[in-house]
Amino acid sequence: MEAEEFRLVREALGAFAADHRCASAKAAPAQRAAAQKALDGLGLSELRRTVEPLASAQECALLAEEYGRHPLATSFLGTVLLAPEVLRLLEAGGQSLPYEGTSTIALGRDLRFATGDGERVAWDAEGADGALCVEGDGSVRVLALGDAAPTTDLLRTVRVARTHDARAIGRLDRQGQRAWQAWALVMVSSELVGAAGSFVEQATAYAGDRVQYGRPIGSYQAVQHLLADATVAVEACASATRYAAWCLDHADPDAALTAARVAKAEVDVSALEAVYAGMQVFGGIAQTWEHIAHLYLRRVRVGATLLTGTAQLLTALALPDSEPLETP
């Protein structure tokens, strides 16, 4: 994608987010549907549908980061970035597939990469009519959607995925599986970088406005140190994640997966620390239901366990020859 074209796409996503960001956790069904329709109207799902995609991995990662900066009740990662990439990888492997409807991605009940014979849930499923599940052996199935499933992230729709009427549509080889996992880890990490960065910025602005003992709380050294540490943590996340996105474009799947695992392990820890620091700066108001602070906290808390856990990532980095879906 040309630089000017990507700038316009990113500005369009930013304008959408400004118009449809949630002011509280009470996002009505009609509000969600209207926001999803507006997002679908941007046509971003076309960015990665073809074997030679319009947008690079780095550009998609920056879009995920921009999306994560705002509290939105729409589906973006699942329907725009993750599911289309599964289909693109299948097509790149010579498997011709019709793209029917709007799909999201199916994960295990614990929101980890799907392995074994357990239950599946469709993650980030607002506006989706099906879910693609990449199983441990690389086979890809289309699952129908059932009832809503509980989730801590109040702005993200999760639904039960029916496995009994699944339809197989192809299989990813070993390199395809590794490329898929690397892609998913980078896109989720990018969203968390955006969420943590935005929340720290909001906390910094609040520290300049909130007056205590006759002075803005941001003038106190303890608060300054807290925000400085949070900013460094966000920069560490961003650096690791953007490098991993570069690897998706320029390195082989093995190297890309290693970089993606490093990025997700860094984000799982540092993004959460940054958000915790922001919560302390906001103080008591951040503990209320009406304030948006808990929406950022919930998204990052869930994201830190999404796809795989930090312990599994570190184990996989210590054992680089492990299979991608056995020790993610």
Q: What's the CA gap between 76 and 78, in Å, rounded? A: 6
Please provide the DSSP assignment of 202-264 as one string: HHHHHHHH-EETTEEGGGSHHHHHHHHHHHHHHHHHHHHHHHHHHHHHHS-HHHHHHHHHHHH
* Pick from 181-190, 248-257, 312-321: least confident: 312-321
Question: What is the per-residue pLDDT across 211-235, written as a single tens digit (0 to 9) for each?
Answer: 999 999 999 999 999 999 999 999 9
Q: What's the CA gap between 12 and 76, in Å, rounded? A: 14
Q: What residue ranges define each of the domains in the chain, with the CATH number in brackets?
A: 176-318 (1.20.140.10)
Q: What's the CA gap between 119 and 278, in Å, rounded? A: 36
pLDDT at 98 over 80: no
Per-residue pLDDT band at 323 (split at 50, 70, 90) = low
Predicted confidence at residue 327, as pLDDT, reads 43
Question: What is the per-residue pLDDT across 138-168, written as a single tens digit (0 to 9) for each?
Answer: 999 999 999 999 999 999 999 999 988 888 9
pLDDT at 16 over 90: yes
Quote the distance between the C-alpha of residue 326 and its chain's center.
21
Two tokens at 120? 């599946």
Per-residue pLDDT band at 99 (split at 50, 70, 90) = low
What is the biggest distance separating any 2 CA atoms in the chain, rounded to whole angstroms?
68
> How many residues make up the chain in this entry?
328
45-68: average pLDDT = 90
57-82: average pLDDT = 96
Spatial CB neighbours of 17, under 8 Å, sequence gap ≥ 6: 66, 67, 69, 70, 72
